[in-house]
């Protein structure tokens, strides 16, 4: 017996990564990391001064939910102004002001290593839980954590 496509962890993670890459990287031009570290990523040997870290939390297939932590990070940002701008940009993508409830809807895909991905019925609803205070890491990275819950219809 195989796991239903809506309950496959790979499909869930790949769909969420696709959302962030398609929107925050491709459209907004913000570099992304799906690593567990907040360390400054390097592109072609050059350290970035703004980036987003996406960390996957616990997933509950019984109610179709995943906790996702989004860290907005900046360096060389003494007063945190660029951090505030980055956080606003991220919130614009996590919410949807055109929807009556403000909740962003995101497609769920069946991902494949080879071949085209296919759209599955339904999708995610992003529920923004809270935004942390502005924090400072030991390496002078400023960051704000946005905690979200991604909910979707799943069959187990």
For 90-124, what is each residue's pLDDT tens digit?
Answer: 999 999 999 999 999 999 999 998 889 999 988 99
User: 50 near 32, Cβ under 8 Å?
Assistant: no
**What digits encode the pLDDT tens for the residues 60-88?**
998 999 999 999 999 999 899 999 999 99
User: 144 near 83, Cβ under 8 Å?
Assistant: yes
**Which of 23-27, 116-120, 137-141 has the weakest average pLDDT?**
137-141
Residue 107 β-bridge partners: 123
| Domain assignment of residue 156, yes or no | no
Q: Is the pLDDT of residue 45 over 60?
A: yes
Structural domains of the chain, count: 1
| Domain assignment of residue 17, yes or no | yes
CATH number at residue 93: 3.30.2000.20
Q: What is the pTM of this model?
A: 0.91
Burial class (CB in 10 A: 0-12, 13-18, 19+), 24: buried
- Domain, as residue range, for 13: 5-151
| Domain assignment of residue 120, yes or no | yes
Calculate mean pLDDT across residues 130-150: 95
Cα–Cα distances (Å) from 127 to 57, 92, 138, in that order, read 14, 13, 30
| Domain assignment of residue 146, yes or no | yes
| Domain assignment of residue 87, yes or no | yes
Q: Coil, strand or helix: which one is 101? A: coil
Residue-level pLDDT at 114:
87
Mean pLDDT of the chain, nearest integer:
92
Distance CA 44, CA 77 (A): 22
| Domain assignment of residue 73, yes or no | yes
The DSSP annotation for 23-89 comes to IIITTT--EEE-SS--PPPEETTEE-SEEEEEEEEEEETTTTEEEEEEEEEESS-TTSHHHHHHHHH
């Amino acid at each position: 017996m195989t796991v239903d496509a809506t309950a496959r962890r790979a499909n869930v993670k790949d769909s969420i990564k696709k959302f962030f890459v398609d929107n925050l990287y491709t459209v907004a031009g913000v570099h992304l990391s799906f690593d567990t570290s907040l360390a400054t990523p390097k592109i072609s040997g050059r350290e970035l001064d703004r980036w987003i870290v996406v960390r996957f939390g616990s997933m509950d297939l019984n109610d179709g939910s995943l906790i996702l932590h989004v860290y907005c990070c900046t360096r060389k940002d003494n007063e945190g102004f660029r951090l505030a701008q980055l956080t606003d940009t991220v919130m614009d993508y996590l919410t949807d002001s055109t929807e009556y409830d403000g909740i962003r809807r995101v497609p769920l895909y069946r991902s494949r290593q080879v071949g085209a991905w296919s759209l599955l019925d339904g999708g995610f609803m992003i529920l923004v839980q809270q935004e942390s205070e502005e924090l400072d890491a030991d390496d002078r990275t400023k960051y704000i954590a946005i905690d979200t819950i991604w909910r979707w219809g799943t069959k187990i």
